[in-house]
Amino acid sequence: MKVLRTAFLLTALTLVLIVVGDAFGGPNGMKIALGFAVLLNAIAYFFSDKIALMSSGAKPVSREQLPRLYEVMERLAAKANLPVPKLYLVPEAAPNAFATGRNPRHASVAVTQGLLQLMNDDELEGVIAHELSHVRNYDILISSIAATLAGAITYAARMGYWANIFGYGGGRDNERQGGGLSAILMIILAPIAAMMLQLGISRQREYAADESGAQMVGQQFGLISALQKLGAYNQRIPSNIPQTTSALCIVKPMFGGGSVWSSLFSTHPPLEDRIAALREMTISRAG
């Protein structure tokens, strides 16, 4: 069901791109916007792992340095039939973890010092299984596709807006565009719609990683307990993980006071909803 929801949201993003591209620039405008977005996101796709690790201050760790982390990772990676990702430690007290990398063979998992100190073995196993699920589910690739489509919609709307102002509208019927209110509404509403769809995809991938991580472990209670701890401690301990990397984290770090708007535009579902979904799960022993 969650895979179908993600596919639906990606399809919706594609349809928005088609509508915006056709309205402002016709097929050519849409192609230019998509090409520009593909180029920028291809660069991000291949280098985002290095950027995320560097910006968060993550340092590579060996098995000798963190045998407990390696033992959990190697056991779960073997169970999931995945290569063991490169492991990193983020030297900060706020508990968190994130996975990055364009595919399972180029994956990295980073955990904070606070996570290792606060989590018991079952909780750590739940967190690592969640991150490995992101790797196995190719969530970085899915997020890159969503970002490409959302970026293309934004570029198409901007290009079309300026084309209308200077009289270069490329749509099939310039009179239809009106050049005024409709163009202004399009440039405002189209990027917002694209962003909301992109955030919806991100939230669905978090639910999916929770579910498949629990299936990987064979029970959901370690991850439930871990999410409860992560929610409690991240409310009290400030994080140094940058906002650009926070979308990758198992829970979004707290950078300030929460609000209705921050929840609406969050890359993560509410923790209470994630925990409720896990409680309702029936674990398949075959998983």
**Active site residue ranges:** 131
Q: How far apart are CA 21 and CA 172, in angstroms?
A: 11
Instruction: Tell me how crowded residue 152 is: count the other CB atoms within 10 A of its CB.
Output: 28
Q: Say what the alpha-carbon torsion angle 24, 28, 34, 38 is, to the nearest 10 degrees.
A: -150
* Kind of pairing between the strands at 59-60 and 86-90: antiparallel
CB neighbour list of residue 83: distance below 8 Å, 6 or more residues apart: 77, 104, 105, 107
With the C-alpha atoms ordered 231, 48, 78, 66, is the resulting torsion angle positive or negative? Answer: negative
Burial of 122 from C-beta contacts in 10 A (0-12 / 13-18 / 19+): middle
Q: Where are the beta strands (DSSP E) in the chain?
A: 59-60, 86-90, 97-100, 108-112
Coil, strand, or helix at residue 239? coil
Residue partners of 247: CB distance under 8 A and separation at least 6? 143, 202, 267, 268
By CB atoms closer than 10 A (0-12, 13-18, 19+), residue 61 is middle
Distances (CA, A) of 189 to 54, 213, 233, 267: 34, 36, 37, 19
